[in-house]
Amino acid sequence: MTSEDEWNEFIAASARALALTVEPAWYPAVRTNLATIWKLAGLVAQFELPDDAEPAPVFRA
């Protein structure tokens, strides 16, 4: 997602799904935060790990 409209659609749909109210005045800051998160998550995703890589938290019964 790159355009403001695309982010706005995503925020509106996500807010509905999460039963969250996002006031119009909050959209710009939420967009900025989402763009930062997506950029950083992209940096992590670019790093190739094997399918059997274990996540850091390990559950023990």
Task: Please list, in sequence order, all residues whose beta carbon lies within 8 angstroms of the beta carbon of residue 11, skipping any fewer than 6 positions away.
Answer: 22, 27, 30, 31, 34
Enter the DSSP assignment of 24: G
Token representation of residue 10 = 């995503």
Residue 61 touches another protein, criterion: CB under 8 A: no
Site string for another protein, 21-60 (x = CB under 8 A): xx---x--xx--xx-xx--xx-xxx-x-x---xxxxx---
Contact assessment for residue 35 and residue 6, using Cβ atoms and an 8 Å cutoff: no
10 binds another protein (CB under 8 A): yes
Instruction: List residues near another protein by CB under 8 A.
Output: 10-11, 14-15, 18-22, 26, 29-30, 33-34, 36-37, 40-41, 43-45, 47, 49, 53-57
